Structure 1
Amino acid sequence: MPSGPMRNLVTGGAGFLGSHLVDRLMQAGEEVLCLDNTFTGRKANVRQWWDHPRFEFIRHDVTEPIKLEVDRIWHLACPASPIHYQTNPVKTAKTSFLGTYNMLGLARRVKARLLLASTSEVYGDPDVHPQLESYRGCVNPIGIRACYDEGKRIAETLCFDYQRMHGSEIRIARIFNTYGPRMLADDGRVVSNFIVQALRGEPITLYGDGSQSRSFCYVDDLVEGLIRLMNGTSTGPINLGNPHEFTIRQLAEQVRARINPELPLIEKPLPADDPRQRQPDIVLAQRALGWQPQVSLEQGLEPTIAWFQELLG
């Protein structure tokens, strides 16, 4: 363990989640290499650190190998919203497989600990509710979401095979729906969709009748969970998410009430393989990390709406 600041590589560090993690690491006095190909990341998300001596931005695609000297690797690089990961599904699958393979190779060479940002999508359209880490999922391997779902599943496989074969230090976080400032307006995620539509005075679109459920974790809570996982002794996989479940219609109604109560809700056909339920069981995170979310949906929507108000002008 180095005596000075830790040298951290954050792949996908200019993205929504990655940039908030970069903030926390920089505020803690650590060194940060922010690696991003800017496909969905934005340099503006880390602009405040641009000239800081402990920060470096590297434009690079994780599907290509890279040689660096680091102590810890936070591997977040991968488009995470359906619109973006379905734009080029082969590239998404390559990012999950080759990107994780390259980062594990780097971690092995420099003896760094690696944290993989996996996803609740590994559970697919679950027939177990809420989802525990022991549940193996119900994923369609040939569906339109498989490039991401199966990509993250093989990324987890690679991590554990590196651990078994090479003794690599790994940490696996299965991240559930996360929201907050710096989300993209066009990412197709339900929170950003509803807020952007409401701010533009458009009808709020529900896919299906809105009875499908999700659990929404504010980004600050999620980053705290990632840090505790990286610094702790548990390998995982560990679910990180807010266990409070809401229907999509309830979310739409909350957003509408805060922005424009007169807006109508309209229904459109449900996309293929869209999960009916998604709720994390976080007992393991509570026990192993002493972690649970602190920010309610009502509290987290306020700064998120404020972010989009500024973004949209």
Structure 2
Amino acid sequence: MNGILEADFQYIAKAELPWGKLDNKTVLITGGTGFLGSLIIRFIDYLNVTQHRNIKMVALIRDEEKARRVLDNCNVVFAKGDIRNMPTILTDIDFVFHCAAVTDSKTMIERPVEVTEGIVLGTYNLMKLSYEKKVESVVYLSSMEVYGTSLISGKVSEKDLGMIDIFNARSSYPMSKRMAENICFNYQIEYGVPVKIARLSQTFGAGVSIEDNRVFAQFAKSVLDNKDIVLHTKGESDTNCCYTADAILALFILLLSGEEGEAYNIANEANHMTILDMAELVVKKVANGSISVKMEIDKESITRYPPPVKLHLSSEKMLKLGWSPKYGMQEMYNRMIEYMRN
């Protein structure tokens, strides 16, 4: 195992959580080959190997070849199928991490119908399955994008939703995430499904694929390739960020100790800055001034990227559950780049 990732897993496993609740139980993970889904699987596998917890895993995947490559050596059962039309799962399920969703803006713009179907129908199917299986706990991975354009000047709590332009193809993602959260809430209220909602900020660190094309990965690859960072916007949007290990720890806190039917922001408040500020931090602190920031803004940027968002997420609810994020922005990049390099 990559040394950075192993250190991250050790850090998570040392947290004072009721890990014993997972012993001899079965966990379903959707989006098993995705960024966070695959990390959750690899961490549970780590718990099994190092602590002998005998946690069984079922991963919902579409591409078995990719799953075997991404989850190499992990002891996990694959359920092959599309979340929009769930395959039959015969085994009992005790816990669920619902991670499946499109995350790249290009697909959101070019295939908004399919993005909406995957999030809305997929979440409905997962809630229905969770009810039928009488699961002990579900964590739905939502997004800070549900806030849209915030009307709050200070820190944004979970009740402070802003506006989303419904006549914009890229809104397929945040609008669908809002609907999915409502589906989760409805299943908790009407059927008692013990679901908790994690509104994730921009999450990155060890575990990010070198093939990832999101902005943080592009910045990291610029450092690795010793090339200038190129921005296609003015970089005015705020970033609310969290290191991968901190985020995974938060997800397990919600799974084992979160309040049913509640949404929680998962963001390190200390890592709040604009995209431009983050790019400049990477250039100065991570690349030590060996590269620079350049701007190449064209007409395509107007539709390809969401409008500038000013959003400073409050993590108060997560902090009250005992979560305390460890990693600052510079160390997030250092650890991600070291992981990618290896």
What is the aligned partner in structure 2 of residue 109 from structure 1? Answer: 132
> Hey, what's the Cα distance between the residues in 2 that align with 1:2 and 1:213?
38
Paired residue for 1:136, among 154, 161, 174? 161
SS, match of residue 304 in structure 1: helix
Paired residue for 2:269, among 234, 238, 243? 243
Paired residue for 2:100, among 77, 92, 114? 77
> Hey, what's the Cα distance between the residues in 2 that align with 1:166 and 1:173?
20
Q: Deviations over 1:80-136 (max 9, x none)?
A: 232344342211100111101111111111111321101100001222242210112
The one-letter code sitting in structure 2 at the alignment partner of 1:274 is P
> Hey, what's the Cα distance between the residues in 2 that align with 1:143 and 1:193?
25
What is the aligned partner in structure 2 of residue 255 from structure 1? Answer: 282
Paired residue for 1:20, among 39, 50, 57? 39
> Hey, what's the Cα distance between the residues in 2 that align with 1:106 and 1:21?
20
> Hey, what's the Cα distance between the residues in 2 that align with 1:186 and 1:256?
21
Percent identity between matched residues is 24
Q: Which runs of structure 2 are paired with 1:3-152 in the superposition (5 Å)?
A: 4-28=23-47, 29=53, 30-38=55-63, 43-49=68-74, 52=75, 55-68=76-89, 69-112=92-135, 113-128=137-152, 129-152=154-177
SS, match of residue 83 in structure 2: coil
Q: Deviations over 1:259-281 (max 9, x none)?
A: 36232311133544334223220
Alignment RMSD, CA only? 2.3
> Hey, what's the Cα distance between the residues in 2 that align with 1:109 and 1:76?
19
What is the aligned partner in structure 2 of residue 290 from structure 1? Answer: 322
> Structure 2: any 5+ residue segments left out of the alignment?
1-19, 48-52
Could you tell which deviates more after superposition, 253-262 or 10-19?
253-262
Paired residue for 1:170, among 156, 174, 195? 195
Could you tell which deviates more after superposition, 295-304 or 202-211?
202-211
Q: Which has the higher helix share?
A: 2
> Hey, what's the Cα distance between the residues in 1 that align with 2:21 and 2:209?
36
Preserved contact between residue 7 and residue 72 of structure 1 (Cα < 8 Å): yes
SS, match of residue 227 in structure 2: coil
Q: Deviations over 1:281-311 (max 9, x none)?
A: 0111111x2113111112221121123334x
Paired residue for 1:267, among 287, 295, 306? 295
What is the aligned partner in structure 1 of residue 313 from structure 2? Answer: 280
> Structure 1: any 5+ residue segments left out of the alignment?
none
Paired residues, what number?
Answer: 304
> Hey, what's the Cα distance between the residues in 1 that align with 2:220 and 2:302?
20
